[in-house]
Amino acid sequence: MTDDIVARLRQTHRIGCNCVGCEAADEIERLREELTASHESHGNEVGSLTERLSLAIHERDEARRDRCMARAVIRWDLEHPNSPQRSETTIIILAWQIADEQGWDCFKEER
Ligand SMILES: [Zn+2]
């Protein structure tokens, strides 16, 4: 004998039978389909929210990196008024430091 309640309800009945057992089997099947569909759409929703969130974080970090770099240039120029040239590396290191001061981890992929 099968474990499945729907199969058991239908065991001795024909398609088109109108007894309460067959009605129950139809209802259980309908509810199972509904449940599966709802799980699937919920899964998709969570997936797309996760995707949007990670895109937003990516954009935020990009804006933060730009800001740290710009502030690094300003700070370096203020602190070294007579220096002829600032190197890219010094500016990046200073930008990392500024990010740390803000408590930002926007350079985490580059360090
Ligand atoms: Zn029946």
Which tens digit of pLDDT belongs to each residue from 19-60?
A: 999 999 999 999 999 999 999 999 999 999 999 999 999 999
Residue 91 lies in a domain: yes
Cα gap 32→77, rounded to integer Å: 68
Cα gap 104→97, rounded to integer Å: 10
Ligand 1 centroid, distance to 45 Cα (angstroms): 39
Asked whether the predicted pLDDT for residue 8 surpasses 80, the reply is yes
* Residues, beta carbon < 5 Å, ion ligand 1: 13, 17, 19, 21-22
Number of separate domains in the chain:
1
Residue 93 lies in a domain: yes
- Other CB atoms closer than 10 Å to residue 106's CB: what's the count? 21
Q: How far is CA 31 from CA 14, 19, 71, in A?
A: 21, 19, 59
pTM for the model stands at 0.64
For residue 33, what are the domain limits? Answer: 5-102
Ligand 1 centroid, distance to 22 Cα (angstroms): 4
- Other CB atoms closer than 10 Å to residue 29's CB: what's the count? 13
Residue 45 lies in a domain: yes
Residue 40 lies in a domain: yes
Residue 28 lies in a domain: yes
Residue 25 lies in a domain: yes
Residue 96 lies in a domain: yes
